[in-house]
Chains A and B, each alone.
Chain A
Amino acid sequence: MIMPSPSMVGMAMCDDRAPDWTCRVDIGVDRLYIELMVQPVHDTQYRDLPARLQSHPLTGWLLERGWHWFDHQVEAAEHALARRDVVVFAPTGAGKTLAGFLPSFLDIAEHGSTGQLHTLYISPLKALAVDVHRNITAPVEALDLPVSFETRTGDTPQSRRQRQKKKPPDFLMTTPESLALLLSYEDAGAYFSGLRFVIIDELHAFFDNKRGDLLSLNLARLATLAPRARRIGLSATIDRPKLARDWLCRRGGRIVSTAQAVAPVIDILQTENRIPWSGHMARHALDEVYAQIAGARMSVVFVNTRAQAEFVFQRLWQLNDRNLRIAVHHGSLERELRRKVEARMADGGLDCVVATSSLDLGLDWADVDLVIQVGAPKGVSRLLQRVGRANHRLNEPSRAILVPTNRFEYLECVAAQTEIAHRRLDGATFRRGGFDVLAQHVFGVACSGAFDPDALYDEVIRAAPYADIGRREFDEVVGFVSNGGYALAAYPQYNRLATLKDGMVALREPRMARQYRMNIGTIVESPMMKVKLRNRTLGSIEENFVVNLSPGDTFLFGGRVLTYEGISNAAVMVSKAKGGEAQIPSYGGGRLPLSSNLSLAVRNLIGSRHAWAGLPDQIRDWLALHGSRSALPDAKTLLVEIFPHRKRHHTVIYSFAGRNANQTLGFLMLRRMKRAGLRPLGFSMTDYALAVWSLSPPEEVESLLDPDIMTEEFEEWLQDTPLLKRLFRDTAIISGLVERRHPGQVKTGRQVLFSSDLIYDVLRRHEPDHILLKAVRRDAMQGLIDAGRLADTLQEFAGNIVCRHLDMISPMAVPVIMQIARENTVHSDDGDALLSDMEEDIIRAANVESIH
């Protein structure tokens, strides 16, 4: 064992007897652990090392310490050096980063630096790019390797950007947005001409979102500008690696994978208290959670929403009689505050952090020994990644405790345990590329110089998410970029693009590139407002949350109870509340739908009584009670219950299809039930079930749930659903139809400039086939509306519906019925009904007064 010394790179403790175990290299400074993972020497493998790797100083450096490379690191390097694209699948912390950079190190060792950009490293997170930069620094400096490397993100100062343009480093660590910016410069072709490798980290994070669309288009562009550059993808383990390979790689792309060495140990918190039938705050379990925290060295309590983060944090402090150092971390907090928490974690100054996914990264350099997940994991892969991030101990499996907040979630946690034990992962989802992102890209390409539309089309369809788009759609996108692409073409003098004599298309005026550069990116934040306590900024909060507050209201933020005072200079002014409980904030938070895989596992568990043996008594009793009052849903049948409750007839459909698909089904059911004369009034949904209430009870549910609802009601509904309007707000910005509002930028003028809702209405009325409306429909089908999953669910259950008419609400229906009281439920797509109801109330109130 070599002791780390503060001045040199040393090794963490390791155990040579453990085969195939990962060790962390401790660079000896501030206990920063880095992802340079190696394994103990085995002589047999040693002989197989390719000669050029063997002679590289990095290998010598490792050998001196009795270590050498992982097989997957070597294999990936071999592919990349043989000019093949490659995707490396490995669990978190298995040395993926080094696997990514190894070919670059070897290539530079052999051929020397070219003076041009050699390797591009792209990460979905700015902070990760910075972190990887730091990790690479250690061996490069220790060995004095002749490699220069820098980061470039939105935070990089202008002076350094200029220098990077003039004298590029060998390695550049960046994000998809910064890459798009680099590609939009007129000298992009020369800048990237010497590029040899493109490393894409956290590849799995790009498959099902618009940032992935953007990245994929950028990679296609790079393939044209730098045909020699190979792509190296680094991904968490997923269930369909070939699809991931096809997303990233060109012909001949390879897959390299390595399995998780030791399965994580995942327990479910066993509580003495009563687990509620519904709710999400885990109030019942927090004293036990506190006991677990007290027993761990450094724990992270992950929650699913910011509201949960605030609530759990506050309760833990109320229970904190041992004065543990507990902090909170979520995306709304000011960046400085978040950095402070991360830094204190890294230097061991905290015992526990309550966090949303905003902290996922910070874990990489902290010595966490326990992960507690409050609330359902919603997906197996997501849970594994969270748990895996915490593993920094040698020869110990990652340890996690799940804390279900209600009985349904308990089942979900058990199902997740089973899936992990059987190593069944969620299906990775891949999306079809957005037309709005394509429009942004085409604008960017035009900024870099004149383009040939035929060649650009060929390039674009080589990006996997755009393989399906036709030439006509592409031309419509180009038309949109040029002048909006309206049938009524109005003012050619304002067009962005001009077609030259030779058929090339170019920016009409170079200065227009500025508009593109100000609006790059696919992430549209909901409008946020700064939260200020006197002159201190505490963080940001959604404008939509603020409009529902009245002065004097208290809410939890950053672990404090704050009193809302008012708005001043576009900031939310608060004061410290004088003790007491705050109203629980209902604001934002990632609401991921339950994965299909986990949903099936939950249905299997409910449906097979022999599997209940391991469940706590209260859960078993609850299931049995439900079975005796109603029926149990299972993997084969769809349970529907109809019962009266509060003078309404409720139809509860246990689809287990996730909240998005359930919401869509809710809208469709409203239409169909209305048509059937059942006078439906509204619906609410959870991941598991949908509840529709009506004045008359349905007699027969088979026809209500016939899969033909997906054609008959669906098309009609799609025409006027407000959900599309919501999506259009993002599309309008990403496509460049309207300009992005930059954070902190105060609205000018007394009126909002224009509302994307109004634009949507005008467009829908006058040009229903406009490319942006097509864009919104295309996006909606795969995400918010989740049409595919809903159609699959209905097909699967057709003919297998079990309907129970009950006298009263059933145990499992409680959570979905409770939603009615808790949330603003959708009564209808039309607010006029609500206004009319309001007026009737006023008239009624007026009459009462006159009688008195």
Chain B
Amino acid sequence: MSNRSTDFAGHGFDLHPSGALFWRDASLLIVGDLHLEKASSYHRSGQFLPPYDTAQTLARLGGVLQELAPRRLLFLGDVFHDGAAWTRMARKDRQTLSDITDTHETIWVEGNHDQSFVPPGHSGCSVHVEGGILFRHIMDETDPRPEISAHYHPAGVVSHRGTRLRRPCFVQATTRLVVPAFGVLTGGLDCRDEALAALHGKTTRLFLLGADSVFAAPPGLARDPRRRRRGSG
């Protein structure tokens, strides 16, 4: 797989087409929003989504770990789709996850969906700080310090030669980097949405995920005027 690199806060990062971010010098792999057991969370309400997402997401993670061989692994929140996801996980999937956490030094940043749950034997934190960068699940628009976050499942929309494409993407603004969701059954939010206003700017870069590589869109990201809210309407 061909990786793309970007400089952020004075460090070099590799952008992986799976949606993982690799800080090579720190031997740290960063993944956000795995949303394990998302499908099964809908079973209670009678929507029987195929219960294979957890296995597939973990297999994807295993593949990236094998390829990049980091020493450490940082979960950027919402590893689990809900607080009870762990109890619903198949024994086999739980084992796969344990194998991963046993062989890597793990850092668990808490998310919102996971209700701050971390598997037994681990402890979570709300912010991890390293190399002058804050790692949070949800970005803090008021904090000017360099920050890497997840949560929004950003997706980039590009038009080229009359065809419109939408892909999960990394978003990089001056002091912020947002990673795409890593889970296989996770939807996306158009980055032009006003919820991501803190990322909008002329120099913002979008890196779109392809099957085997990451593609850079033309620089600049503006709020989509279609998405504005007007008074009472």
List of B residues within 8 angstroms of A737 by Cβ: 47-49
**Is A484 in contact with B88, judged by CB distance below 8 angstroms?**
no
Of A750, A759, A836, which one neighbours B189 at CB under 8 angstroms? A750
**Is B216 in contact with A484, judged by CB distance below 8 angstroms?**
no
Q: Whole-angstrom distance between the alpha carbons of A752 and B155 in the complex?
A: 11
Q: Whole-angstrom distance between the alpha carbons of A837 and B162 in the complex?
A: 13
Name which residue of chain A comes closest to B217, CB basis. Answer: A838
**Is A568 in contact with B228, judged by CB distance below 8 angstroms?**
yes
Interface assignment of B12: CB less than 8 Å from any CB of chain A: no
Q: Whole-angstrom distance between the alpha carbons of A792 and B191 in the complex?
A: 48
Interface assignment of A480: CB less than 8 Å from any CB of chain B: yes
**Is A573 in contact with B230, judged by CB distance below 8 angstroms?**
yes
Q: Whole-angstrom distance between the alpha carbons of A567 and B90 in the complex?
A: 43
What distance in Å separates the Cβ of B91 from its nearest Cβ neighbour in chain A? 12
A762-B53 in contact given A755-B187, A835-B160 (Cβ < 8 Å): yes
Interface assignment of A496: CB less than 8 Å from any CB of chain B: yes
Chain B residues touching A, range: 35 or more
Of A546, A547, A761, A838, which one neighbours B184 at CB under 8 angstroms? A761
**Is A548 in contact with B164, judged by CB distance below 8 angstroms?**
yes
**Is A551 in contact with B226, judged by CB distance below 8 angstroms?**
yes
**Is B187 in contact with A832, judged by CB distance below 8 angstroms?**
no
**Is B48 in contact with A835, judged by CB distance below 8 angstroms?**
no
Of B152, B157, B184, which one neighbours A762 at CB under 8 angstroms? B184
Q: Whole-angstrom distance between the alpha carbons of A622 and B49 in the complex?
A: 56
Interface assignment of B119: CB less than 8 Å from any CB of chain A: no
What distance in Å separates the Cβ of B224 from its nearest Cβ neighbour in chain A? 8
- The contact string, 1 if C-beta is below 8 Å from chain A, for chain B 196-233, is 00000000000010111101111000000111111001
Q: How many A-B contacts if CB must be within 8 Å?
A: 151
Of B56, B152, B161, B189, which one neighbours A834 at CB under 8 angstroms? B161
Interface assignment of A770: CB less than 8 Å from any CB of chain B: yes
List of B residues within 8 angstroms of A754 by Cβ: 38, 42, 49, 185-187
Q: Whole-angstrom distance between the alpha carbons of A566 and B218 in the complex?
A: 23
Interface assignment of A842: CB less than 8 Å from any CB of chain B: yes
**Is A842 in contact with B216, judged by CB distance below 8 angstroms?**
yes
List of A residues within 8 angstroms of B44 by Cβ: 494
List of B residues within 8 angstroms of A755 by Cβ: 187
Q: Whole-angstrom distance between the alpha carbons of A217 and B135 in the complex?
A: 56
List of B residues within 8 angstroms of A491 by Cβ: 40, 43, 88
Number of A interface residues at 8 Å Cβ cutoff, please give it. 56
**Is B163 in contact with A571, judged by CB distance below 8 angstroms?**
no
Of B52, B189, B195, B227, which one neighbours A567 at CB under 8 angstroms? B227
Name which residue of chain B comes closest to A535, CB basis. Answer: B233
Interface assignment of A483: CB less than 8 Å from any CB of chain B: yes
Interface assignment of A82: CB less than 8 Å from any CB of chain B: no
**Is B215 in contact with A839, judged by CB distance below 8 angstroms?**
yes
Interface assignment of B144: CB less than 8 Å from any CB of chain A: no
List of B residues within 8 angstroms of A830 by Cβ: 211
Q: Whole-angstrom distance between the alpha carbons of A125 and B193 in the complex?
A: 40
- The contact string, 1 if C-beta is below 8 Å from chain A, for chain B 83-110, is 0000010100000000000000000000
**Is A488 in contact with B165, judged by CB distance below 8 angstroms?**
no
What distance in Å separates the Cβ of A635 from its nearest Cβ neighbour in chain B? 37
List of A residues within 8 angstroms of B229 by Cβ: 568-569
What distance in Å separates the Cβ of B88 from its nearest Cβ neighbour in chain A? 7
Name which residue of chain B comes closest to A572, CB basis. Answer: B226
Q: Whole-angstrom distance between the alpha carbons of A380 and B44 in the complex?
A: 50
Interface assignment of A141: CB less than 8 Å from any CB of chain B: no
The CB with the most chain A CB atoms within 10 A, among B47, B189, B211, B227, is that of: B47
- The contact string, 1 if C-beta is below 8 Å from chain B, for chain A 521-557, is 0000000000010000000000000111101000000
Name which residue of chain A comes closest to B56, CB basis. Answer: A762
Which are the 3 A-B pairs with shortest beta-carbon distances?
A: A484-B48, A752-B187, A766-B52
* Interfacial residues, chain A to chain B (CB-CB below 8 A): 480, 483-486, 488, 490-491, 494, 496, 512, 515, 532, 546-549, 551, 566-569, 571, 573, 736-739, 750-755, 758-759, 761-763, 765-767, 770, 824, 827, 830-832, 834-839, 841-842
Q: Can you spell out 29 A-B residue pairs with CB atoms less than 8 angstroms apart?
A: A483-B48, A484-B50, A486-B52, A490-B51, A491-B43, A491-B88, A515-B45, A547-B164, A551-B226, A567-B226, A567-B227, A737-B47, A752-B188, A754-B38, A758-B184, A759-B185, A762-B184, A766-B56, A770-B50, A824-B162, A830-B211, A831-B165, A831-B210, A832-B213, A834-B161, A835-B160, A835-B210, A839-B216, A841-B160
- Beyond A551-B226, A566-B226, 20 additional pairs, beta carbon < 8 A: A491-B43, A547-B157, A566-B228, A567-B226, A567-B228, A568-B228, A571-B233, A737-B48, A750-B189, A751-B187, A751-B189, A753-B187, A758-B184, A762-B50, A762-B185, A765-B52, A836-B210, A837-B160, A838-B215, A839-B216
